[in-house]
A and B are shown apart, each in its own frame.
Chain A
């Protein structure tokens, strides 16, 4: 029997988790919320040692120390641009841990012998944790590989993928039933391996731009796996913590999908419906109008209203500090400058805000899409830096495009558009942008940081 005070401490931890999520949903309280969550987790992880007799204390504490070291170093060393894939990785290892815990618990059930009072529902929960944890583990690793560009960011589809995926699901269901009726460790292990395959097949067909939605979904999956693990282990804090994340994560996934103008089902399976969603993917050789930094400097310096559209390319090139200086100089000339932030600018919703905050860009200059879209009509010059998909009018006009339906920044309504780009390579979604070929569009080729520096000097010299 678990001591009452330990159970009460678990309740405190669970309440901390609720307050953490509540805090995280408002900018003013977000940081405090995260800290409350950390306190809750700490409480739970300390009192667990008082739940009952535990062996192997020294190796466990060493393992915790190792994990903490890796986690802290990873979290502190990572570049802010690479944060989404780090979150994916953390989520994956959490799912993997849940699956391993469930396998060990299954092992104990088997040792206890059938009919030793192990209720069937606990076995159902065990099987669920094994499968879902494994799916989350392998799925997250694939999203990591996509975001890190270790593999292609475009949908990976091969003949028979839907069949393999469906077959994998059915096989997993059958094995789960076997685990419940005839508990055996080897069945559990096979179930875990099957989960790994299903998770991989689930994420492979997802296009690069949709990956954040999938990370969020897998995050919710891990939450549910942890919740089921809590039932298996008779542990309330796992049940409540896991369920909160499962529910909040699922809802967040829907919110994100809505911000990108698509359904979750379309995100996961859209690419399977036909080749048309694959896009062009190659650089086009159609004629475009390009100019040098000096020309663009004149364009900017004699405008009255300028809007900057920052994208992931800006952050990758680490040009955000130079950009901020350019905006400061333009501001000194009396030009009205704002940043237009698409909900999914960067790699995830809110990612760009973090990246620009790092460069000390004032909060008031960051305008959200809905607030600024009406202003492009009255804007002289829009400077698009390292962004592409979020200003692609194809999202409104080309039904076969993978980004069709995604709300975009109405950059095409401005007087002049300047694209700062490395090359004619398409964006993360892998489709061509018609706006690049528009007569009002000027292209400024080169590395964003380098070109931005030249542009800054050219504006200063005017």
Chain B
């Protein structure tokens, strides 16, 4: 089997899965979903690590390290901020005694 076709198959199936899994999302969750998806594409960090690890010149190394920093910010920051949003969604389910943190 042609290798490019294998990749194309993975791509096309992933498109359908991506649409299918979020097709029933309620508008309340649009923002956290966008933010969570945003964090997932931070996985470009894997690519950044690979190219930086193979860098042969100082310039390439420097550019690669910038990419690693940016990708990490995207991934780590993305998951943390999404969790912060969703924490509030779960917190309000049970009537919480009001703490003093927002006084």
Show the binding face of A for B, using Cβ within 8 Å: 13, 17-18, 20-22, 24-27, 30-31, 33-35, 37-38, 40-41, 44-45, 48-49, 51, 53-57, 59-60, 63-64, 66-68, 70-72, 74-76, 78, 80, 83-84, 86-87, 90-91, 93-94, 96-98, 100-101, 103-105, 107-108, 111, 119, 121, 212, 215-216, 219, 222-223, 225-227, 229-231, 233, 235-252, 255-256, 259, 321, 343, 348-351, 353-354, 357-363, 368
Contact = CB atoms under 8 A, between A and B. Distances in A.
B98 A96 contact: no
A50 to B, nearest CB: 11
Nearest to B64: A104
A78 B81 contact: yes
A236 B10 CA distance: 8
Contact of B40 (A20, A70, A358): A20
The interface residues of chain B, by DSSP majority, are classed as helix
A34 B73 contact: no
23 contacts: A27-B89, A31-B83, A31-B86, A34-B82, A34-B86, A56-B53, A56-B64, A63-B52, A63-B69, A67-B68, A67-B70, A75-B78, A90-B39, A93-B73, A93-B74, A100-B64, A101-B71, A104-B51, A238-B46, A239-B14, A240-B10, A240-B14, A350-B29
A240 B8 CA distance: 11
Contacts of B23: 25, 251
A326 B83 CA distance: 29
A41 B43 contact: yes
B22 A60 contact: no
Nearest to B53: A54
B19 A247 contact: yes
The 6 closest A-B pairs by CB, nearest first: A67-B72, A71-B77, A54-B53, A247-B18, A349-B30, A94-B74
Contacts of B33: 21, 24-25, 30, 248, 252
Contact of A97 (B71, B76, B92): B71
A71 B75 contact: yes
A24 B76 contact: no
B45 A45 contact: yes
A282 B38 CA distance: 36
Contact of A353 (B4, B28, B71, B75): B28
Contacts of A87: 31, 34-35, 38, 78, 81
A101 B47 contact: yes
A71 B27 contact: no
Interface of B: 4, 7, 10-11, 14-19, 21-56, 60-61, 63-93, 95-96, 98, 102
B81 A75 contact: yes
A24 B45 CA distance: 22
A312 to B, nearest CB: 13
A41 B69 contact: no
B100 to A, nearest CB: 12
A60 B52 contact: yes
Nearest to B82: A34
A142 to B, nearest CB: 17
A31 B90 contact: yes
Contacts of A354: 31-32, 85, 88-89
Contacts, number: 377
Contacts of B11: 227, 231, 239, 243
B27 A343 contact: yes
A231 B32 contact: no
B21 A108 contact: no
B17 to A, nearest CB: 6
Contacts of B92: 357, 360-363
A108 B54 CA distance: 9
A240 B42 CA distance: 13
Contact of B7 (A27, A97, A231, A362): A231
Nearest to A59: B65
B59 to A, nearest CB: 9
B53 A57 contact: yes
B51 to A, nearest CB: 4
A74 B15 CA distance: 31
A111 B40 contact: no
A182 B26 CA distance: 48
B47 A251 contact: no
Contacts of B60: 104, 107
Given A71-B78, A350-B29, A55 B55 contact: yes
A90 B63 contact: no
Given A30-B86, A72-B76, A100-B67, 11 more contacts: A21-B18, A26-B26, A41-B43, A45-B43, A56-B61, A96-B70, A101-B64, A243-B14, A244-B40, A251-B23, A349-B30
Contact of A351 (B10, B15, B31, B86): B31
Contacts of A243: 10-11, 14-15, 18
A252 B25 contact: yes
A121 B3 CA distance: 12
A56 B48 CA distance: 12
Given A20-B40, A67-B71, A251-B18, A362 B55 contact: no
